[in-house]
Structure formats: structure tokens, C-alpha cells
Structure 1
Amino acid sequence: MISFKMLYLKYFPYNPRPFQDELMDRIFMSNIMLCEAPTGSGKSIASLCSFLADKKEEEKIVVLTRTKSQADIYLGEIKKISEKIKKTISAVHLVSKQEICPKLKYSDITYEEFNQLCRVSECEYRDRNDCPYIKLQKKLPRAEVIVASYNYLLYPPLRDYFLDRAETTLENLMVIVDEAHNLLNLDILGRKIKEKTVKLAEKELKERIPLRRIFKGEDSMIDISGWIEPEEIRYLYEMGTEILKEKKISFTFRTACFFLNAYKLRYNENFMIYRQNGEIFLKPIFPSKLIEPLIYCKKLLLMSATLSPIEGYATLYELEKAEVYSMPNLFPKENRRYLVIRSGLNTRLESRDAMLWKKYAKTIEEIYKSTPRITLVFFPSYEILKEVHSFVNFNVFIEPKENKELKTLIEKIKNEKKALLFAVCGGKLSEGVEFTIDGSSIVKTIVIAGLPFPVPNFELELKRELYDRKFGYGRGYFFLHVLPMVNKTLQATGRAIRSANDRAVVVFLDDRLEHYRYFPQEIREELELVEIEKIREKVEEFHKTYA
């Protein structure tokens, strides 16, 4: 492969790590690329340098992230690049208007309510051209790099708005989709409404709302045109706005916004409106249809530490012609061990009872006894976590449900010489959280207490039928059950080894061995089958070796 080192190393502010040259070469050469690169490989800085080396003056780099912490990583790297080249790279972090508004400080209102209040309220900041959001938007046309949330380019109504404000076109964009495995979970672009919201709207209006009847009935798809008239939505919107002006919160306005969005998207074949458990949902169906407009960008890079099996994601995202690259694990093989029980435990629905939870608790206790520092246990759900916890005889730290409690918990854990921590796959502790002191991980054993398959429901069955129709019989199960399970598991197992000096053992307490073939080659090749009675001995042996 021809190397373009001189072009991208001009921007690179560090000494390249193993494989980073190859990664930057591939990114530079590719128009569309799916990239799996492990934690600690420096994929963020590599992607930025490759894009900057290929960027023309009129083009913009757009980095799509899901969380503020991920956005901060890119903004920090851009600052380092600017220092390296001794020239400021113009970068804008595009946050929502609600986050930076100095006037409307209402934490319990929706974004739609905030936006409407902003439109109809008098504002001294806007009057004197001092609104932070307007100032931010004015920077977009001149920005070389824009860091924003997924919604700005993936949600159809927002994409045109973004392009207009940035004074650009898709063809002049170079797009990085960070943590691209998140596109599996289309809830981030979906909406829902409860009947309770409409009841509260009726209370505000002191009259019955006809569309409330939509909540009655069995779980099913809904043709919104047969239930709602545009005049009804308009009436609710106008009345809700008046209530909003007075009370700063309006369930009538929330009701109007949901059904207005549903009505606008009623002919969009990639959105489905359905009733499930007495709630109404509006959700995308295929992630590929959200990504599809981005193939017209100059460059498109979707990357994550967990895109296994990467060919599956290429098919699901309908990017079969894209460059596909899986970067090898950079950390020493001897620093890790993967163990899986041969038989005796799994969290199949039909297996769940008190005896099972008691057996899980006993096995986890044995692993905890043989582990120094922190044992981090991930369960498929909060419900299973609670069941197992009721049989554990040790003090256990439990993942909080509120984000505000997370920082306090992590600090407590760091002060413990030995601790047992229970968390949930796909929860707050499985992604973007560091259990490190002076750069070294304090998590020494990760336990996957049951493979985190999604619980079957009407939505999954509905989507599975649509996926089978599109991709072929049986593929729906793979895309909707297997891929999310593998991804959540890999996110959880990645919490332990964060640098080349970290050592940890990962224990899979689920004997459904047929599913481990979908895991990365590293795990498949290193996975050691162990009798459940020998688990403690194997964990102890690993930790004694590196004591």
C-alpha cells in the first residue's frame, strides 16, 4: 500500500503507536469506511489527521458523537493538532440551544417546549444580539471542524436545517460517525408518548381530546392518517402554546408535538408508528436508511471499538462496498484471559427461577474472593441484577439509575481496596466510564452474568419480520438479537484493560456456547472452556501469576 505519511503526520501531535500508520493510510485512501479499532488505539486522532490531510478549503469535517465526553475527546485532539501545526483550526461544538440558554433555565421541560418558549418569549439576549446559540450558529459557515450529536445529520428534519446554517452541502462534508455501533439502537432517534400525557393535556384544556382513543387496543401498527386530523393537531399546538406561555410547561403542547412529528413522517417508509403496552411509539426501522444520505459526502467513516462481526454491520448499514478494517488488539496477549463455563448457567427465559439466581450469586462470590481490587459484574437487566443481589452475602456496590450519582459511586470504588460492583450491560457503567488511578485500571475481573439478549416484545417481532423480508429469512434474529447482544457484551468487557499495562480476566457465566462464534477472533481463539467448579481456581491462578 502506498503510504501518505507526510500528509497526515504533518498534523499528528504524538509518536505513532503500532498500526496507527496503517489506520491513517486506510482512512486517507477510503471514501466510505467501516473501522473497528480497540480502546487505546488512538482512532480519534488518527481519523482527524487523515481527514485534515485530505480536506480542501471549502470542505468541512463533521464529527458525530453521542455523548459530551466523546465530543470533548475530539475537541481536545483538535487543540493538540493546532499546537502542532502552530495554526488554530476553527472548531465548533454544536450543542442544543437549551444547554446554553442564559434565560430559560427550566430543567423539567422538553426540547420542543423550550424551543417554543424561546420563539414566543421576549429575550434581552436576542434583542441585543447576545444570544449564545445565535453566536454559535454564526460560527458554523467558517468552521473547519464541527462536532455535533447524531441528530444533526441522521434525523431527516434536522439535516436540512444543519446544512442551511452551515452554508454547505453533503458533497462538501467529511463525516466521522464515532461509536457507530450506537446506530443499532434506533431509540436515540425515536419518540414515544404515554396516555397519561394526553390525560394531563385534557386536564389542562378541561375538555376531552378525541385522539386519546388511539391508546386503546392491542399492540399493533398504526396508520396515523386514520386517527388524526391536521386541524386537531393545529388546535392542540395553538392551545398548548398559550398554556406554555403562562405555565412554562404544557402537556397539551407535548401531545401536539408528538402527533405533529408522527403526521409529518406518516409517508416515510423508514418510520413506523405502533402501539405497545398502551404507549404510542414513533421509531426508525432500518439504520441504513438514516445513513444512506451520507454516502454522498466526500468521505464517510463509521468507527467504534465494538463493530464485531464487522461484516454484519456492513450488511445492516448497507455499506457492503465500503472499505472494512479491523485493527488488531495492541495490548499483550498474556495480560488477559477469557474463561467461559462449559455448562450450568444461562439466563434463558425458561431457566429463570430462584435456584438459578442463587447459583449465580454463589459463583460470583467465589470469583470475587479470588480477585484483587475490583470485580465488576454485568447482568443482562436490572431485574436480574436485583434477583441475584438478594442472594449475595457480601457488600455490593450497585450501578445507580441516576446520572448525577455516577461520579460519587466511581470515587467511592476508587477508594476501596477490594470491592464487588454490580452493573447492567448497556447501562451507565458499560460505556465511556474509566475505573483508573494514575492511568491504570483497578478492575481486575469482569463477569458477564448472562448474555444480554433483548427481551422479546411486539416491536422486536414486528421489526424482525421486516428485517427478514429485506435481508432474508433468519437475518432479522441476527441483526436484532445477536448483534446487540455481542455489542453490549464487548462494551462491558472493555471496562478492564484500558492500557498496555493493565491485566484482567473476563469470565462468561453463560453456557450458550453457539453464540460465542460471533465474537471477535481474539476472544474466539483465546476462550477457555472451564467447568463451573473450576472457575475460582482459574481466576485465582491468573491473578497470582501477576501479583
Structure 2
Amino acid sequence: MKNEMKISVRTLAEYVYKSGSIVSGFRTASSFTEGSRIHREVQKTYNEQDQSEVFLKTEIEYENIHFIIEGRCDGLLIKDGRITIDEIKSTSLSLELINEDSNLAHWAQAECYAYMYMEDHELDCIDIQLTYVQKSSGEVKRFIKTRTYDEIREAMLIMVSAFAPYAKWRLKHERNRNQSIKDLEFPFAQYRKGQRQLAGSVYKTIQEKKTIFASAPTGIGKTISTLFPSVKAIGEEHLGKIFYLTAKTTTRQTAEEAFSQLFDHGLQMKAVTITAKDKVCFTEQGICNKDHCEFAESYYDKINGAILDILQNENSLNRPCIEQYALKHKICPFEFSLDLAYAADTVICDYNYIFDPKVSLKRLFDDQKKETVLLVDEAHNLVDRGRDMFSSTLEKTAFLQLKRDFKGTNENIHRICKRINDCFIKIKKQAEPSKTMVFKEPQGELNQLVLEFIDFAEKELLSDRSENPEQLLDTYFAAQNWQRISKLFDDRFILYAEVQRNEVIVKQFCLDPSYLIKQAGKSFKSRVFFSATLSPIGYYRDMLGGDDDDYVVRIPSPFSQEQNQVMIQPLSTRYKDRENSIEPIVKTLIETIQSKPGNYLIFFPSYLYLNSVWEYWNHGNYGIPTIVQGTGMGDAEREAFLESFKPGGSGSLVGFAVLGGIFSEGVDLKGDRLNGVLVVGVGLPQIGFERDLIKQHFSSKGKNGYDYAYVYPGMNKVLQAGGRLIRSEKDTGTIILIDDRYLQHKYQSLLPDIWRRYGIL
């Protein structure tokens, strides 16, 4: 079997020569589009005989490995019979801070292209050039070296030999992985009803490079039913990588548990979990700077050894594992997890690493994406998460404060913040007295001022005198996001201003995230959107960027209607009637527990409503233990809440929780840990300015705007909350839906089939 390793020029050069410390939390690297623009500007200055974006490739045999190295050379310059390889780099740094030896990886890239060209054209000598462009000023600085063929060949062999240990591990791992996958069996004695159908649909989707929307009921085992066929597809060489995307920590843990079961059955695979930076930072400050954090110091000098160490010894690269090896090698655990994401076979992470333009994994090249499947768990959450990712806000007070802070110390920042503050004052006058104002078109003046602010803020943050003051840094990031979203702004967005006393907030609000979700995912081989509550599926296919030719599968519930006793209490829980509803809700709760003692969860549409009912319940002194979901609960508090639901108890327990909150999704209280669920209301989001904008937008597109903005998102929360009850074939319990709207056809049509046989209280 031939040991073949394909690698890009940039990956090879950076692997061998990237060095130094993590500079800071402030990153000045140009965006991909900005970098591309600067490249094009330089390439326009080339002479007629010069070439740009030249594809080059070479093959090298080293220690029984056949390396295929390829990439696109920025510039191939021809003058007086001499050839120059041009490597273009854009930077936010002042060019005075850049010297010939600032970045050896940049020279290494140029040397790779030089070697390829010299091999192809049998040259003895070549020039290599680094062209640095300061992205704000457009100023250019060049360095040039002349190299012989022997020098370039030696440089190339040094790089290949340094990369070889990782290449050897990679090739050996792929052989072991694929063999283990061939031998791998489904990790349970038998498939649950519907599991085989879902697994087969996912495999077919990957095989055919398609997108699928899968609605599969809670308790069927969706995680293993999507992961197992994806793993099998890697073994059959239909796939190279899996991204398992989640909205919540609980579903990430479920994915980790599924992999543990596969590892127990012999799977040899590397699965990394990316945990949020604020949760894994060893210093708990999040300041990535060698002066503040020893784990940032010399990070890039240590990372290759750390990656090889963990990959040679572990399969499950979860948070405890990553922290263990990060401490061993004294490196940042968060950056470590990001670097591992490029080496691992599977990445378990939040949606934002793929869909959010602020934080996506930029180094995942298109050829890697073409071999990657996106498994989007609880995909119904991606609609509102997408809106958040593609929206952006600016606040007047931030610029007013900076105007004051930099008076007399940085006149450029003082002046630009004054102009932006004046712009906000003008908007405030226009918005009064209604306090909100929708703009008919983007604000070109504000956008231009924000661009100028970014430029001045970058220079200040990079200067020796700057200690990265928090206010400037936060406002800089907000401005960058504003600029990024302004480039995406079209008729799927709306721009509005909101006045709150002295504060003015301007927001680019994404009404319909479907197009941008589709664009973010389209480079990947396949996309699998799945959820227990992807209903109505036409709505979710529309909102998640689906097409008419995408696959759709609806898996029927494996559970019987007899396992659920569903009751409807036709009581108005509308806002105006809530005060009158409190006593009947408490009475229903007491009667339910008295007739069937056990553990119950009762879900409310808001904390305000929850607290009103809980206070009334408390005054009744019913002697039934009660726990209440609080705002901003941490992991430990959340675990304690769930641990209160114990199996086999003789008494009863009531948990008060919020619809759409941390306990209404991804919570697995099997057996008699949970005996009943009560849902108060139909889950409709609170009527508000933004929801009404969404309603108006979709109504103008010929759709039912009210359903898109209110009904479908609301009922999804109801179905998720009710889905906490029946988790296996042996579970039984009671679901009580408290609202008279559940007797209307619209709401009944959105209920699962096994809830349709109901009684009325």
C-alpha cells in the first residue's frame, strides 16, 4: 500500500516555521475578503508578462512517504530572463515593525513555490520576494533574496523532514481507523424502531453529497443514528471529517457519550470537543498574552509536540483530556482545542464555529470542506441563533465614553468618536418621540465613520503605549462586527434605532437568516439538519436555507400512545388573563400530584409568570418539595437541579422551569425520574418590536408572518418541553397542556401524533 500524503504549501510552511507566543486577545489579521482584495491590488501592478495565482505542485519521496505538495503562488514575475516568486501578505502592523526575518513561515511558503517552479523548469537560480501591504494605508514593503537550486532543495527537505513525524502518525492512524470502522458494529443489541431508517437516510445523503432535513422523535437515539452512518462513511472513504454541531452543552455531552460507546466497541478515531474560551481558560481572565498568561508564552513553539502527544495516546479529546495535556505542555487549552480541530476526524462544537462570521474556523480549506459532513443537532435552534449571528449593534454610550477617554491622548480617536456620537444624536432626534425608528436604507455616513474608527482603534491597540483598554477593545470588536454585517446587508435585513433615555442603540437586524446559513454550509459535502421538533418541516427547510430537491425524512415515534396520558386544560394564559389563571394552574398541579404522586416539571413562558405561580404555590404550604429554575444558572446549579429528580422515590417533587430554557431541551430524565410534564401556554414569544418586524417581513413575502414570527417558534418550545417525558420504550407519564388554544385546529395540527388522543380537564 502506497503511503501518500497530500498537503498544501501553507500548511507545511506554518507547521514547520510558525513560532512565538499568542500575541493577545486583539487579533489584527485581515479578513479573508480583505486579504484577497489586497492581493488583487498588488497583482494589478504586475507587468503584462507576469502571472498571478499560478497553481504549482511537486511530489517528494521521503522515508517511504510520497508527499504531494501543492498551492497557488501569488505572483510569478519575469524580468530580463529572471524569475521572481512573489508572496503577498497583508498586515495591520506598521511596516516599521516588520523586518526581513519577522516571519520565517512566509519565506518558507515562497521557498516551496520556488522549488516547484525550479523543478518544473530546471532552473539553477531564482529570486524569492515577500511583499507586505499595510492594509489601512496601502503602503508596501518588499524583501528579496536570491537562491540557488541546492539551497531551495535543502530548505524543502528540511520542511518535509520536520513534517514527517506527523505524516507517519497520520497515515498509520488512517489505516487503523478505517480498519476499525470496517469491523465496527452498531453499539446496541438492536436498532430502535426508526433508528435504522434514520441511519440509512444519513448515509445515503452523505454518499450523494446532499442535504437532508430529518424530523425524528425524542428518545429514538438521534445522536448515534447520525454519527454511526457518518463514521461508516469515513471508513468507506466517502467522507474525511465530521462536524457535530450543537446549541447547548447537554447535547455536546450526548455526542461525547455516543463516541464513548463506539470506542468501547473498538473504534479508533479522534474526536475533539471545543469548549468556550471563558470556560477553559486556566487564568479565568481570557487575556491571551505572554505577559499575563504563561500558557500563551511560546505557544507556537510547543504546539506541534503537544498535538502529536495527545493524538498518539487518546481518542476522546474532550475538555478534561485537553486540559490535562495543555497543563503538561504549558499551552492554552482553548487554542489547543482549535488546533486539534484541524487534525481530528470529528469535531464536536457549537454552531458558531461553522455559521458565525465572527468565529468560524478560517483555516478549514475548501478541499477539506468537500470531504466534511455537518451534523446539525437540535437544528430548530439554528433559526434564532442564525439571526443573532448575522445581526449587529452599536451603542452611543460606548463612543461617547471613548471620546472622553482619549481627549488629549489620541486626537484621531477623540475626533472620530465625537463624529460618531454626533451621528447618534442626529438619529435620536429623528426617532423621537416614538423611541424607535426603522431606516429605509443603510446609513452610509455611519458605516464610513465606523470604518475610520476601526483604522484608528487598530493603530492605538497596536501601539506601544496601549495596554488594550477594555472599552476600546470591546468597541473595536463591535465596530468590526458592524462592518462585517454591513457587507451582508440586503433585503433580508432591517436597520433600526432604539432610544433608551440617553442611550441610542442602532441595530442591523437579520430578519431571515436562511440565505446566510445556506452560504455558510454550501462548501461542505453534506448537511444533516435533525431534531425531534423540526415541525412543520416546510418552515424549517425554508428558514435553514433548504431547497426543493433536498431530502426530507419524518421518522414516526417508536413509542405508543398508551405511554402518554395527554390532557388539555382549556384555560386562557394570555397576558391579560394571567392573574386569573394562577389559582387554576396551582389547583391542577396539586390534583395531578395527589392522583399520581411522582416527579413533575411545569414549564412557563416567562420567569415573571413562573414566579407569580410559585409564590402562590408557596403560600399554600402543600408540603411538596419544590425546586425553581433561576436566571443565569451555572453548570453546578444546573446539575444539582437535575440530580433532585431521583428514581424510585416514594414522595413527589415539582420543578418550576421556563419554556425554551436549559431544562426544556437536551435533558434526559429516564424511567420514573420524571412522571409528568405540565406546559403553561403555547410558548409564543413575547409580542415585541423585533418579532413584529419578522412578521411584517414574511407577510410581505406572501407567507403567514404571524406563524413564522410567533406560532412555529412558540410551539417548538412546547414540543421540546413535552419531549422530556418519554425517553424509552418503558417510560410512561402524563402531559398536561394548559391553554384553550390547544383546542384550535392550528395548534392541534402541530402536536405529535401520539399526543392527539387527549382528554379535557
State TM-score, norm by structure 2: 0.60
Task: Say whether residues 1:348 and 2:569 are aligned partners.
Answer: no
Q: Look up the equivalent residue of 1:151 and give its one-letter code.
A: N
Task: Say whether residues 1:402 and 2:628 are aligned partners.
Answer: no
Aligned counterpart, 1:53: 232
Q: Look up the equivalent residue of 1:522 and give its one-letter code.
A: D
Larger radius of gyration: 2
CA shift for structure 1 position 283? 4.1
C-alpha distance after superposition, 1:489-544 (max 9, x if no partner): 0111112222222211111110012232332441453233x1xxxx3xxxxxxxxx
C-alpha distance after superposition, 1:240-278 (max 9, x if no partner): 6779964x7612321221122112221312554433464
Aligned counterpart, 1:545: none
C-alpha distance after superposition, 1:176-205 (max 9, x if no partner): 101101012235524545555556555644
Aligned counterpart, 2:36: none
CA shift for structure 1 position 221? 3.6
C-alpha distance after superposition, 1:72-115 (max 9, x if no partner): 3223323432443x35112222344554444x4217xxxxxx56
| Distance across 2 between alignment mates of 1:454 and 1:317 | 19
| Distance across 1 between alignment mates of 2:222 and 2:362 | 29
> Percent identity among equivalent residues?
24
- Give SS of 1:378's match: strand
Matches within 5 A, 1:434-445: 434=668, 436=669, 439-445=670-676
Q: Look up the equivalent residue of 2:201 and give its one-letter code.
A: R
Q: Note closer, same or farther for the CA distance 1:502–1:242 as it changes in structure 2 (3 Å cut).
A: farther
| Distance across 2 between alignment mates of 1:53 and 1:235 | 52
- Give SS of 1:21's match: helix
64-73 vs 191-200, greater mean Cα deviation: 191-200
CA shift for structure 1 position 304? 0.9
Aligned counterpart, 1:211: 420
1:254 to 474, 485, 508: 474
Task: Say whether residues 1:274 and 2:496 are aligned partners.
Answer: yes
297-306 vs 395-404, greater mean Cα deviation: 395-404
| Distance across 2 between alignment mates of 1:359 and 1:87 | 54
Aligned counterpart, 2:659: 425
Task: Say whether residues 1:88 and 2:268 are aligned partners.
Answer: yes
* Aligned residues of 1:225 and 1:266 also touching (Cα < 8 A): no
C-alpha distance after superposition, 1:204-251 (max 9, x if no partner): 4466744345373332345343325122233345556779964x7612
- Give SS of 2:213's match: strand
Aligned counterpart, 2:758: 527
| Distance across 2 between alignment mates of 1:75 and 1:302 | 19
Q: Note closer, same or farther for the CA distance 1:118–1:224 as it changes in structure 2 (3 Å cut).
A: farther
* Aligned residues of 2:377 and 2:529 also touching (Cα < 8 A): yes
Aligned counterpart, 2:528: 301
* Aligned residues of 2:602 and 2:678 also touching (Cα < 8 A): yes
CA shift for structure 1 position 150? 0.7
C-alpha distance after superposition, 1:109-155 (max 9, x if no partner): xxxxx56x589988425264253445444434432222221112112
| Distance across 1 between alignment mates of 2:694 and 2:292 | 40
Aligned counterpart, 1:388: 613
Matches within 5 A, 1:179-258: 179-186=378-385, 188-189=388-389, 190-192=391-393, 197-198=398-399, 201=402, 204-205=405-406, 209-212=418-421, 214=424, 216=428, 217=431, 218-221=435-438, 223-228=442-447, 229=449, 230-239=451-460, 246=467, 250-258=470-478
Aligned counterpart, 1:539: none
| Distance across 1 between alignment mates of 2:577 and 2:612 | 13
| Distance across 1 between alignment mates of 2:645 and 2:463 | 49
Q: Look up the equivalent residue of 1:496 and give its one-letter code.
A: L
Aligned counterpart, 1:176: 375
Task: Say whether residues 1:129 and 2:302 are aligned partners.
Answer: yes
| Distance across 1 between alignment mates of 2:537 and 2:665 | 19
- Give SS of 2:731's match: coil
Q: Note closer, same or farther for the CA distance 1:482–1:81 as it changes in structure 2 (3 Å cut).
A: same
* Aligned residues of 1:28 and 1:54 also touching (Cα < 8 A): yes
| Distance across 1 between alignment mates of 2:185 and 2:493 | 41
Q: Note closer, same or farther for the CA distance 1:145–1:357 as it changes in structure 2 (3 Å cut).
A: same
Q: Note closer, same or farther for the CA distance 1:497–1:526 as it changes in structure 2 (3 Å cut).
A: same
* Aligned residues of 1:399 and 1:422 also touching (Cα < 8 A): yes
| Distance across 2 between alignment mates of 1:316 and 1:382 | 28
Aligned counterpart, 2:692: 461
Aligned counterpart, 1:543: none
Q: Note closer, same or farther for the CA distance 1:219–1:441 as it changes in structure 2 (3 Å cut).
A: farther
* Aligned residues of 1:309 and 1:520 also touching (Cα < 8 A): no
Q: Which runs of 5+ in 1 are unaligned?
A: 1-6, 108-113, 536-547
| Distance across 1 between alignment mates of 2:523 and 2:247 | 22
Q: Note closer, same or farther for the CA distance 1:493–1:193 as it changes in structure 2 (3 Å cut).
A: farther
394-403 vs 275-284, greater mean Cα deviation: 275-284
Aligned counterpart, 1:447: 678
* Aligned residues of 2:593 and 2:652 also touching (Cα < 8 A): no
Q: Note closer, same or farther for the CA distance 1:162–1:507 as it changes in structure 2 (3 Å cut).
A: farther
CA shift for structure 1 position 51? 1.6
CA shift for structure 1 position 335? 1.6
CA shift for structure 1 position 47? 1.0
Task: Say whether residues 1:288 and 2:288 are aligned partners.
Answer: no
Aligned counterpart, 1:62: 243
Aligned counterpart, 2:219: 40
C-alpha distance after superposition, 1:327-349 (max 9, x if no partner): 122223212111113x4x22223
Q: Which has the higher contact order (CA 8 A, sep 6+)?
A: 1
C-alpha distance after superposition, 1:430-461 (max 9, x if no partner): 11234x4xx42422221111111111212112
* Aligned residues of 1:381 and 1:452 also touching (Cα < 8 A): no
| Distance across 2 between alignment mates of 1:152 and 1:118 | 25
2:362 to 157, 161, 184: 161
Q: Look up the equivalent residue of 1:335 and give its one-letter code.
A: Q
CA shift for structure 1 position 380? 1.0
Q: Which runs of 5+ in 2 are unaligned?
A: 1-180, 304-330, 408-413
Task: Say whether residues 1:374 and 2:599 are aligned partners.
Answer: yes
- Give SS of 1:69's match: helix
| Distance across 1 between alignment mates of 2:300 and 2:360 | 28
* Aligned residues of 2:290 and 2:297 also touching (Cα < 8 A): no
Q: Note closer, same or farther for the CA distance 1:304–1:234 as it changes in structure 2 (3 Å cut).
A: same
C-alpha distance after superposition, 1:467-501 (max 9, x if no partner): 2233x14x221122111111100111112222222
494-503 vs 356-365, greater mean Cα deviation: 356-365
| Distance across 1 between alignment mates of 2:360 and 2:645 | 42
1:313 to 526, 537, 540: 540
| Distance across 1 between alignment mates of 2:351 and 2:640 | 29
Q: CA RMSD in A?
A: 3.2
**Count of residue correspondences:** 504
Q: Look up the equivalent residue of 1:145 and give its one-letter code.
A: T
- Give SS of 1:74's match: helix
- Give SS of 1:401's match: coil
